[in-house]
Structure 1
Amino acid sequence: MRTTLTSTETAAPALAPASLLHLLWLASPALPVGGFSYSEGLEAAIDAGRVGNETQAAHWLVEQLHLTLARSDLAVIAQALRAWRRGDTARIRTLNTWLLQTRESAELRLQTEQMGRSLREWLRHLPGADAAVLDFAATLEPSYPVMYALCAAGPCGAHTAPAGERDVLLAYAFGWAENMMQAALKAVPLGQTSGQRILARLAAEIPAAVEHALRLPDEERQAYSPMLAILSSRHETQYSRLFRS
């Protein structure tokens, strides 16, 4: 179910400049967490002949946004953000465990664990990081969305006021979209102009995906994408590949 905001709804207050910059920083593909090395099954879809041009790539990624990201990662981030801010370590551990257990292939789990560890290490070297929070994070086999929520919650003093859940999810989704667009450019392959059209299509879909994620209670979160799981499993033994997933 997708939701469109109406013009009568009250606009959220503008982020403080430091808060906005912090979110842009977190969403940047330049962040040293290795996101550029994964295609999340897209390369396998290309190899299988399911994606071979700009239109098919855009359709594939839009469906992935709504069927997997909105119903799993984005929903977990929203819940984890609240838990980090109130210091609810039991809730954080539960969310992290759920996300790891619902990764449907070995390489998809490897991706979230590797990126989660890299993000945790990056956070540890930032000035003002909360040692107690990081000590708890060190006890987790971290998933990337849960570590992203920790960074967005503001434990490092990088911004003057915490960003709202909607803004955090929008930033995460757009960072994902940029990474996936770049994967499509390399693997299909496509040109830069095609890539920007794909990104524009994803940007138009992201707000509805975020609204859906914000409304999901625990019992409605899900990670069920059989074709993506099959393709990801095939990718693990794919003869020639550019990406790690």
Structure 2
Amino acid sequence: MSTTAQPLPAASLLQLIWLASPALPVGGFSYSEGLESGVDRAGVATENIASDWLSDQLQLSLARGDLAVIAGAIPAWRNGDLVKIKALNDWVLQTRETSELRAQAEQMGRSLLEWLRNHHSISDAQLDACAQLPPTYPVTFALAASPLIAGVPDCLTAYAFGWAENMMQAALKSVPLGQSAGQRILARLATEIPVAIATAMALQDHERQAFSPMLAILSSQHETQYSRLFRS
């Protein structure tokens, strides 16, 4: 049997690109996930520091949290395992360490669910089940990706790259940086995303983590920051 990976059907590839787009109307562009507070209070003042910051966030936070949740939620949606879905959604809500981070997960989840209602790939029963959670963004993204003829790693790649683009744009505005610096940061994150995905895929349920104490402190400080561009 051939071990060569088969290309995604064009329709599934386009749907993944669509889901990864910062233009998706879910509000991702309005959040910095603590980066703006890092600029104000933690010395994130250069391209290199911003690049290191986002690289650490990818590997220490996203890979061990949201990506691992999505890796479990996609097969759960495909198998109709609503008990698993609720457990994953509850974990996201319970491990958001500040009100801003939790509000982001909830707002983006609701917005993506409303976007899905305008499409026909998700059944009414699944939409209703998601709405009753109430949904967080990682779990709703998994629902959006679940009907696609795509492997879980491909879906995680789309999610991670969408996150990387949004965070790079946040760095451009808040550090601030130029477009070339932003592209260098994005290029670095793109090379590191496969490692983050491998980490997420290997984690068992009891191994997921949401422990980034400095990020949580900075996120809390952002709530009262004097001047802000972003909602987190």
SS of the residue aligned with 1:68? helix
- Residue 169 of structure 2 aligns with which residue? 182
Which one of the candidate residues 17, 28, 31 is aligned to 2:24?
A: 31
- Residue 189 of structure 2 aligns with which residue? 202
Does 2:19 align with 1:18? no
- After superposition, give the CA deviation of every residue in 1:104-159 in whole Å (9 maximum; x if it has no partner): 111000000000000000001113531111111111111100000000002xxxxx
Length-normalised TM-score, structure 1? 0.92
| Mapping for residues 49-64 of structure 1, pairs under 5 Å | 49-64=42-57
Deviation at 1:12, TM superposition (A): 2.4
SS of the residue aligned with 1:231? helix
Deviation at 1:192, TM superposition (A): 0.3
- After superposition, give the CA deviation of every residue in 1:64-88 in whole Å (9 maximum; x if it has no partner): 0000000000000010001000000
Unaligned runs of 5+ in 1: 1-8, 155-160
Please give the alpha-carbon distance, in whole angstroms, between the structure 1 residues aligned to 2:182 and 2:213. 26
SS of the residue aligned with 2:85? helix
Please give the alpha-carbon distance, in whole angstroms, between the structure 1 residues aligned to 2:120 and 2:79. 22
Deviation at 1:226, TM superposition (A): 0.2
Residues 184 and 83 (structure 1), Cα distance of their counterparts in 2 relative to 1, 3 Å cut:
same
Length-normalised TM-score, structure 2? 0.97
Which one of the candidate residues 112, 127, 145 is aligned to 1:119?
A: 112
Does 2:84 align with 1:95? no
Counterpart amino acid of residue 72 in structure 2: Q
Deviation at 1:11, TM superposition (A): 4.1
Question: Contact 2:122 / 2:144 at 8 angstroms: preserved in 1?
Answer: no
SS of the residue aligned with 1:189? coil
Deviation at 1:49, TM superposition (A): 3.8
Which one of the candidate residues 52, 58, 61 is aligned to 1:65?
A: 58
Please give the alpha-carbon distance, in whole angstroms, between the structure 2 residues aligned to 1:80 and 1:188. 35
- Residue 99 of structure 2 aligns with which residue? 106
Unaligned runs of 5+ in 2: none
SS of the residue aligned with 1:78? helix
Residues 11 and 38 (structure 1), Cα distance of their counterparts in 2 relative to 1, 3 Å cut:
farther
Please give the alpha-carbon distance, in whole angstroms, between the structure 2 residues aligned to 1:78 and 1:107. 24
Please give the alpha-carbon distance, in whole angstroms, between the structure 1 residues aligned to 2:61 and 2:175. 22
SS of the residue aligned with 2:119? coil
SS of the residue aligned with 2:63? helix
Does 2:38 align with 1:45? yes
